[in-house]
């Protein structure tokens, strides 16, 4: 492989290296494969470490998943139909926001997936022999340590190296690629922390909590202040997943990572006074893990030379709009368009500049709206129309911006 050195005047298929095969990197690979490029993904582990929790994907993400030919039924979706707000202590329903005929209005469904199902299906799809484009290659146990953004060379910890015409840094919130192109992130630990846990539908049935499996909803307790529980079903309604936000000071600030476990009792004790049905659910839940949250400021740029950033490497955001992955999907879609036969005439640097011009303002707006929604549920897209509130991100605008983000 060798980087393109001449400026072409017609479409040219590129050798692309995607660094990181998380959800964002896989979408970038798929989108660029569909656009006619030859893609190799390099992953530091021999698995990508996706965790057992839910992932809601609104229409601004699901439309691309469908367009790229991902077999959605194999991701075992739950089609979301409403948002439900419960009283923290009694659990009574305080508010319901029906999504109505969401698909007719926005063009594709609002899905809830299990993260592992999504990751596996994307892994299969990028490598599939069938479907448009050249099957992508995935090379594991390759941790990128050096990236030369001018010459297109990547060096790996194991001593090997690779050359590419275009390098996409999809290596997550602690991106090394970002550092390699000179960005020093400004960030701070959030005052909030998050536990996630899952429970099977079978257990919920036996506990008499069947409604949480069949509501096809994202359900909230709290959300005005740090404490918030977000519950939803995924995996063909066979699993229910909870995100449980609480003050980071509760369990010390020295713990970090995505693999720190907690016991069911610790989870219950974190939320005194919570609806006793949810405490009951917690006591029987599995795979309880802590997620420390960080607030990153907008980065000064997203690309340099022939290297572009994508997903959490470019715009890590708090999870309160459920938009981190969706924004990664939009990034991938924009890359597929700027490097498409219709738009790409061989100038990789210009195409990456265009990618940044189109995507950075939009993702930054969603990043800011996510931070606002951390302690104010009424800032969540879809929770209220927002017409009454200056500068709130609304569903309508969100969809309009997603459309406008097409080059």
Ligand X SMILES: Cc1cc2nc3c(=O)[nH]c(=O)nc-3n(C[C@H](O)[C@H](O)[C@H](O)COP(=O)(O)OP(=O)(O)OC[C@H]3O[C@@H](n4cnc5c(N)ncnc54)[C@H](O)[C@@H]3O)c2cc1C
Q: How many residues line the site for ligand X (CB under 6 A)?
A: 37
Give Cα separations from 19 to 138, 146, 164, 297, 307 (angstroms).
10, 11, 11, 23, 10
Shortest CB 112 distance to ligand X, Å: 8
Only segment of 65-73, 132-140, 323-331, 391-399 that touches ligand X (CB under 6 A): 323-331
Q: What b/e readout covers 44-83, taking b as 16+ CB neighbours within 10 angstroms?
A: beeebebebbbbbbbbbbbbbbbebebebeebbbbebebb
Instruction: Give the residue from 20, 335, 329, 43 showing the smallest Cα distance to 171.
Output: 20
Neighbours of 345 (CB within 10 A): 14
Shortest CB 176 distance to ligand X, Å: 4
To which residue do tokens 């997620």 refer?
A: 291
The binding track of 366-405 with respect to ligand X, each residue x by CB under 6 A or -, is ----------------------------------------
Instruction: Give the residue from 321, 305, 307 showing the smallest Cα distance to 362.
Output: 321
User: From the list 22, 77, 152, 336, which residue makes contact with ligand X (rule: CB under 6 A)?
Assistant: 22
- 21 binds ligand X per the rule CB under 6 A: yes
Q: How far apart are CA 169 and CA 146, in angstroms?
A: 12
Shortest CB 33 distance to ligand X, Å: 16
Neighbours of 298 (CB within 10 A): 16
Q: Which residues contact 71 (CB under 8 A, 6 or more apart)?
A: 121, 125
User: From the list 176, 285, 304, 367, which residue makes contact with ligand X (rule: CB under 6 A)?
Assistant: 176
Q: Please, which residue, 12 or 220, has the CB nearer to ligand X?
A: 220
Q: Measure CA of the first residue to CA of the last residue in the chain; give whole Å.
A: 28
To which residue do tokens 């995507």 refer?
A: 359
What residues numbered 236-275 form the site for ligand X, per CB under 6 A?
243
Shortest CB 341 distance to ligand X, Å: 26
Q: Please, which residue, 138 or 306, has the CB nearer to ligand X?
A: 138
Q: Please, which residue, 85 or 138, has the CB nearer to ligand X?
A: 138
Q: How far apart are CA 225 and CA 245, in angstroms?
A: 10
User: From the list 312, 330, 356, 379, which residue makes contact with ligand X (rule: CB under 6 A)?
Assistant: 312
Q: How far apart are CA 334 and CA 328, in angstroms?
A: 10
- 113 binds ligand X per the rule CB under 6 A: no
- 224 binds ligand X per the rule CB under 6 A: no
Q: How far apart are CA 368 and CA 315, in angstroms?
A: 10
Only segment of 1-9, 74-82, 165-173, 346-354 that touches ligand X (CB under 6 A): 165-173
- 172 binds ligand X per the rule CB under 6 A: yes
Q: Please, which residue, 144 or 369, has the CB nearer to ligand X?
A: 144
User: From the list 133, 311, 336, 386, which residue makes contact with ligand X (rule: CB under 6 A)?
Assistant: 311
User: From the list 14, 17, 18, 23, which residue makes contact with ligand X (rule: CB under 6 A)?
Assistant: 23
What residues numbered 33-62 form the site for ligand X, per CB under 6 A?
42-45, 48-49, 55-57
- 169 binds ligand X per the rule CB under 6 A: no
User: From the list 319, 336, 382, 386, which residue makes contact with ligand X (rule: CB under 6 A)?
Assistant: 319
Q: How far apart are CA 162 and CA 16, in angstroms?
A: 10
Q: How far apart are CA 125 and CA 93, in angstroms?
A: 40
Instruction: Give the residue from 174, 160, 146, 185 showing the smallest Cα distance to 307.
Output: 146
Q: Please, which residue, 56 or 340, has the CB nearer to ligand X?
A: 56
Residues that bind ligand X (CB under 6 A): 19-25, 42-45, 48-49, 55-57, 143-144, 170-173, 176, 194, 196, 243, 291, 311-313, 319, 322-326, 328
């Amino acid at each position: 492989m060798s980087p393109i050195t001449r400026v072409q005047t017609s479409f040219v298929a590129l050798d692309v290296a995607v660094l990181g095969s998380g959800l964002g990197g896989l979408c970038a690979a798929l989108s660029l494969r569909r656009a006619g490029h030859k893609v190799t993904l390099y992953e530091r582990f021999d698995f990508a470490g996706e965790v057992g929790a839910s992932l809601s994907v609104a229409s601004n993400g699901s439309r691309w998943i469908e367009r790229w030919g991902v077999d959605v039924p194999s991701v075992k979706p739950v089609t979301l139909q409403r948002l439900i707000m419960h009283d923290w202590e009694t659990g009574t329903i305080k508010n319901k926001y029906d999504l109505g005929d969401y698909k007719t209005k926005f063009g594709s469904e609002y899905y809830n997936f299990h993260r592992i199902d999504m990751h596996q299906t994307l892994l299969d799809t990028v490598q599939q022999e069938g479907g448009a484009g050249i099957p992508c290659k995935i090379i594991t146990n390759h941790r990128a340590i050096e990236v030369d953004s001018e010459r297109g060379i990547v060096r790996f910890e194991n001593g090997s190296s690779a050359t590419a015409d275009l390098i996409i840094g999809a290596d997550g919130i602690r991106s090394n690629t970002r550092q390699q192109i000179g960005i020093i992130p400004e960030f701070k630990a959030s005052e909030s922390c998050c536990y996630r846990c899952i429970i099977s539908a079978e257990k919920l049935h036996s506990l008499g909590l069947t409604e949480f499996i069949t509501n096809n909803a994202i359900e909230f307790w709290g959300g005005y202040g740090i404490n918030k529980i977000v519950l939803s079903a995924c995996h063909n309604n066979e699993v229910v997943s909870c995100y449980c936000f609480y003050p980071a000071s509760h369990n010390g600030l020295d713990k970090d990572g995505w693999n720190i476990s907690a016991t069911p009792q610790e989870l219950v004790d974190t939320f005194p006074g919570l609806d006793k049905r949810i405490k009951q659910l917690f006591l029987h839940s599995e795979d309880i893990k802590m997620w420390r949250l960080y607030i990153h400021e907008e980065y000064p740029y997203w690309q340099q030379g022939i290297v572009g950033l994508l997903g959490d490497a470019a715009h890590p955001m708090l999870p309160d709009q459920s938009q981190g992955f969706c924004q990664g999907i939009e990034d991938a879609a924009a890359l597929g368009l700027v490097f498409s036969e219709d738009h790409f005439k061989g100038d990789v640097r210009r195409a990456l500049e265009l990618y940044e011009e189109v995507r950075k303002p939009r993702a930054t707006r969603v990043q800011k709206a996510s931070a606002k929604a951390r302690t104010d549920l009424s800032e969540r897209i879809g929770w209220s129309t927002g017409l009454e509130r200056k500068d709130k991100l609304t569903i309508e605008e969100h969809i309009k911006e997603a459309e406008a983000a097409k080059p």
